[in-house]
Amino acid sequence: MNAQTTLQVIPVIPFEFIVIGKPISHQTKDRKRLQAWKTEVRRTAELCWKAGTAVGDPLRVTITHYYDALPGDESGVPDSDNIVKPVRDALNGLIYVDDYQITDFVSRRRSLNGSFRVKGMSAVLAEGFCKGEEFLHIFVEAAPDPTELR
């Protein structure tokens, strides 16, 4: 009798990773550049996501764009709502089965030239700051209880 053991990898949530570089807006006319950005986001997520399977539960996703711009001149910084779709698309089928599972979504922009109060910073976020370049911090966690109003 052959005993067969299977090792099931359970997705670990919360999950976070960073993508170095300036994000590309989904409104860009340069479709090749947009596709390259989505590929980079997905490739980076794949390197960090060790679960091997997508999560099927409701999720909250937070994307923070840490940008580098001169104070008072943010003309070259894409709007946070325009960088969301390429990231969501890139993670679809990898981190979550489908983006309909994202019940809560937070999108933020923060200047790298700002001051930050740091308390309990994750090693992943610290790595982003240590690179000294513009980056996205993407954080995926279980969605809050939908019956709780806040």
pTM of the model: 0.87
Position 9 scores a pLDDT of: 47
11 has a pLDDT exceeding 60: no
Residue with tokens 């979550």: 96
Q: Out of 8-17, 51-60, 106-115, 140-149, pick the least confident.
A: 8-17
> What's the token pair of residue 69?
């711009």
Express each pLDDT in 118-143 by its tens digit: 888 999 999 999 998 999 999 999 99
Q: Out of 10-14, 104-108, 124-128, pick the least confident.
A: 10-14
> What's the token pair of residue 110?
């923060």
Can you say whether residue 83 is alpha, beta or left, with left for phi > 0 and alpha for psi between -120 and 50 degrees? alpha
Euclidean distance between CA atoms 126 and 118, whole angstroms: 10
Confidence of residue 4 (pLDDT cuts 50, 70, 90): low
- For the chain, give the mean pLDDT: 88
In CATH terms, the fold of domain 15-142 is: 60s Ribosomal Protein L30; Chain: A; (3.30.1330)
Position 150 scores a pLDDT of: 62
